[in-house]
């Protein structure tokens, strides 16, 4: 019994022991090379390292001096060296391991923002007002605020009459979700639209309103948004404006209300389109409340698109000739009808642009049968993709299918979690997190051969990824979080997600009993389409008796990676950044 107690005490003692870790060999060699074997690195020598080793060609001596001063102030509470400060090896190591000073991607907007909106991937939410699942959760402005703070630029609102038919509520229709007043959502959008990014916010509206309530919506948005509301010059445009031209503007996107007289004549002549003729998804039955969850799922699967995916007509021809002309005049991005089959819908019109919506399943079918047509359509027009209706738990789908075909608005449930949402977060960390990412040139040029995602291309570049070490768990987690009796056993998984030919994954060895694991392993990834590749990283704690524990994750577009030795911050499952947990890695393109 005494021997057992002694062993347990030893195990408890082990978990508090933190091993001192030396800088990796590459760091030592770089320091020796650029300090010219001196014990210190000057600002000018640091500048040389940044230009030659880290690939920061535009780095100036002034920038290097600022880095030296910041590092010395943090480590030694010393500053104001006026360019005379120098870094020791430990100072240099500290700098390299500081993600705010030496992160893996640029933190500023650096893409050309003067192209039409159709030339960008746009950070897009689905049912942006829901706190949880698609069936019974609460509608609120809180998830809208969180999405805008994260950089989301497309907010979806489902508009329905309230119980007394005199006001507008936002709610997932014909479900058990609770509503939130539209005005509350609009005020929060006004307050938070541009706190993270100055580039335009697009509101996609699923409109189930009467003409009188459509007029009320027009009044609400004009009064609430004021000068931030974008007024289109005309109903039809040849090309979308650019994000730069639309800074601090809020745009409305929905199906324009029909002319009542035209609708009436069509009905009298028997020419009303049948349900589903405008889309690949049919309108659900008109029940006010579905009888079961199974029916609810079926409804969701067929009605999760925007108003352009439906053929419902709210026209009250007896009361007025036109449906809310004020409302109609505010619609900046028209959603188009889909008549005559998808191939016909995807035809590019020379003097007019539009937006259409497809469910994730419809996109998969279109990708197989009309892949290059989809790419050609998205060179000028906007395609929105939304989750299939059976995702009642607010899960998401693989966004790469949409991006490979040029879809600008790949709409996601931002309140969901999982690997697909992490890919979405990763994509939109690029370009300074502004919510707009310029599409690769091969998805844009109408003069070259149209990109075919199914075709395997030759290797264009090779990415080398070295995982040196990790640190920070001892600061962000309790000593017993991963293991009650010993330090954690960490390993790192490294994935490439992209076109099928590029997708692959690797993992490091397990480092046992160490809060500061050192792996120093390199992985090589040949890439055929690096412009669409994402690097996904996940640290896991090995458990021999139970499921492995999550230790952090991150994701970045390969095209955004800065070469050299970089500090890579990790995030929790929800996508929130840990305070201290990070990896030291090296990226090389050969």
pLDDT in tens, 356-414: 999 999 999 999 999 999 999 999 999 999 999 999 999 999 999 999 999 999 999 99
Catalytically annotated residue among 94, 111, 119, 126: 126
Q: Residue 200 is encoded by which pair of tokens? A: 């335009």
State the average pLDDT for the chain: 87
Q: Summarize pLDDT for 537-589 with one digit per residue, the tens.
A: 999 999 988 899 999 999 999 999 999 999 999 999 999 999 999 999 999 99
3 state SS for 419-449: HHHHHHHHHCCCHHHCCEEECCHHHCCCCCC
Residue 172 known to be catalytic: yes
CATH of the domain at 204: 3.20.20.190
Distance, in Å, from the CA atom of 282 to the CA atom of 259, rounded to the nearest integer, reads 22
Please indicate, yes or no, if residue 562 is contained in any of the structural domains: yes
Point out the domain boundary residue: 391, 421, 443: 443
**DSSP secondary structure string for all residues of 472-516:** -HHHHS-TTSS-SSS---EEEEEEEESSTTT-EEEEPPPB-S-SS
Q: Which residues lie closer than 8 Å to 481 by C-beta, 6 or more apart?
A: 549
Per-residue confidence (pLDDT) for residue 445, from 0 to 100: 81
Per-residue confidence (pLDDT) for residue 83, from 0 to 100: 56
CATH of the domain at 555: 2.60.40.150
Distance, in Å, from the CA atom of 34 to the CA atom of 46, rounded to the nearest integer, reads 7
- H helix or E strand, kind and range, residue 300: helix 293-303
Give yes or no for residue 179 having a pLDDT over 90: yes
Interval 185-202 mean pLDDT: 98
H-only helix segments in 106-237 = 142-150, 182-192, 211-225
Number of domains in the chain: 3
Do 368 and 345 fall into the same domain?
Answer: yes
Please indicate, yes or no, if residue 52 is contained in any of the structural domains: yes
Domain limits at 174? 117-261+291-443
Do 251 and 362 fall into the same domain?
Answer: yes
Give yes or no for residue 38 having a pLDDT over 90: no
Do 394 and 491 fall into the same domain?
Answer: no
Please indicate, yes or no, if residue 108 is contained in any of the structural domains: no
Interval 54-59 mean pLDDT: 94
Do 65 and 203 fall into the same domain?
Answer: no
Residue 417 known to be catalytic: no
Please indicate, yes or no, if residue 111 is contained in any of the structural domains: no
- In the structure, what pLDDT confidence band is assigned to residue 232 with cuts at 50, 70 and 90? very high
**DSSP secondary structure string for all residues of 45-103:** HHHHHHHHTS--TT--HHHHHHHHHHHHHHHHS----TT--EE-HHHHHHHHT-TTTS-
The position carrying tokens 């480590």 is 75
Give yes or no for residue 82 having a pLDDT over 70: no
Please indicate, yes or no, if residue 207 is contained in any of the structural domains: yes
Q: Residue 47 is encoded by which pair of tokens? A: 């500048």
Between 253-262, 315-324, 326-335, the lowest mean confidence (pLDDT) is in 315-324
Do 237 and 380 fall into the same domain?
Answer: yes
Do 547 and 568 fall into the same domain?
Answer: yes
Crossing angle for the helix pair 61-76 and 43-52, nearest 10 degrees? 110
Instruction: Using DSSP, state whether 195 is helix, strand or coil.
Output: coil
Catalytically annotated residue among 172, 334, 370, 420: 172
Distance, in Å, from the CA atom of 21 to the CA atom of 28, rounded to the nearest integer, reads 13
Per-residue confidence (pLDDT) for residue 295, from 0 to 100: 42
Please indicate, yes or no, if residue 468 is contained in any of the structural domains: yes
- H helix or E strand, kind and range, residue 113: none
Do 334 and 227 fall into the same domain?
Answer: yes
Per-residue confidence (pLDDT) for residue 94, from 0 to 100: 97
In angstroms, the first-to-last Cα distance of the chain is: 60
Do 473 and 574 fall into the same domain?
Answer: yes
């Amino acid at each position: 019994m005494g021997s057992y107690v002694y062993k347990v005490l030893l195990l408890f003692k082990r978990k508090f022991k933190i091993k001192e870790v030396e800088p990796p060999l590459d760091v030592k060699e770089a320091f020796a090379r650029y300090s010219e074997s001196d014990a210190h690195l000057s600002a000018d020598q640091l500048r040389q390292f940044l230009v030659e080793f880290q690939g920061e060609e535009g780095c100036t001596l002034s920038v290097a001096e600022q880095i030296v001063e910041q590092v010395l102030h943090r480590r030694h509470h010393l500053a104001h060296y006026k360019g005379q400060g120098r870094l020791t090896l430990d100072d240099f190591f500290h700098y390299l391991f500081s993600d705010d000073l030496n992160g893996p991607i640029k933190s500023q907007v650096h893409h050309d923002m003067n192209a039409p909106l159709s030339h960008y991937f746009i950070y897009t939410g689905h049912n942006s007002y829901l706190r949880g699942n698609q069936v019974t959760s609460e509608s609120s402005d809180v998830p809208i605020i969180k999405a805008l703070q994260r950089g989301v630029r497309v907010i979806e609102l489902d508009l329905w009459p309230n119980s007394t038919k005199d006001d507008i509520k936002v709610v997932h229709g014909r479900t058990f979700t609770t509503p939130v007043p539209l005005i509350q959502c609009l005020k929060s959008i006004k307050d938070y639209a541009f706190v993270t990014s100055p580039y335009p916010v697009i509101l996609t509206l699923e409109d189930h309103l009467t003409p009188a309530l459509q007029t009320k919506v027009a009044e609400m948005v004009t009064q609430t948004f004021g000068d931030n509301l974008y007024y289109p010059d005309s109903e039809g445009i040849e090309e979308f404006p650019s994000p730069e031209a639309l800074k601090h503007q809020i745009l409305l996107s929905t199906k324009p209300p029909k002319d009542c007289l035209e609708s009436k004549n069509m009905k009298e002549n028997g020419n009303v389109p049948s349900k589903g003729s405008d889309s690949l998804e049919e309108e659900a039955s008109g029940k006010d409340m579905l009888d079961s969850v199974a029916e609810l799922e079926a409804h969701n699967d067929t009605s999760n698109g925007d108003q352009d995916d439906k053929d419902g007509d709210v026209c009250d021809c007896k009361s007025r000739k036109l449906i809310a002309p004020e409302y109609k005049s505010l619609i900046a991005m028209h959603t188009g009808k889909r008549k005559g089959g998808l191939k016909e819908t995807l035809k590019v019109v020379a003097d007019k642009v539009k937006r259409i919506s497809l469910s994730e399943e419809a996109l998969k079918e279109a990708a197989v049968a009309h892949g290059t047509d989809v790419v050609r359509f998205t060179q000028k027009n906007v395609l929105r993709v939304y989750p299939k209706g059976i995702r009642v738990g607010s899960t998401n789908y693989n966004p790469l299918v949409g991006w490979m075909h040029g879809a600008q608005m790949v709409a996601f449930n931002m309140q969901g979690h999982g690997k697909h949402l992490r890919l979405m977060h990763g994509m939109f960390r690029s370009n300074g997190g502004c919510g707009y990412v310029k599409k690769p040139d091969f998805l844009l040029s109408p003069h070259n051969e149209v990109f075919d995602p199914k075709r395997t291309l030759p290797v264009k570049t090779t990415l080398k990824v070295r995982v040196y070490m990790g640190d920070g768990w001892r600061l962000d987690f309790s000593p017993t979080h991963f293991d009650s009796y010993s330090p954690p056993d960490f390993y790192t998984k490294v994935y490439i997600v992209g076109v099928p030919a590029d997708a692959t994954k690797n993992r490091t060895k397990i480092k046992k009993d160490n809060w500061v694991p050192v792996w120093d392993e390199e992985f090589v990834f040949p890439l055929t389409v690096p412009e669409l590749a994402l690097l996904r990283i996940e640290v896991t704690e090995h458990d021999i008796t139970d499921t492995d524990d999550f230790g952090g994750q991150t994701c970045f577009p390969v095209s955004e990676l800065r070469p050299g030795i970089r500090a890579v911050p990790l995030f929790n499952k929800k996508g929130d950044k840990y305070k201290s947990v990070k990896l030291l890695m090296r990226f090389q393109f050969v």
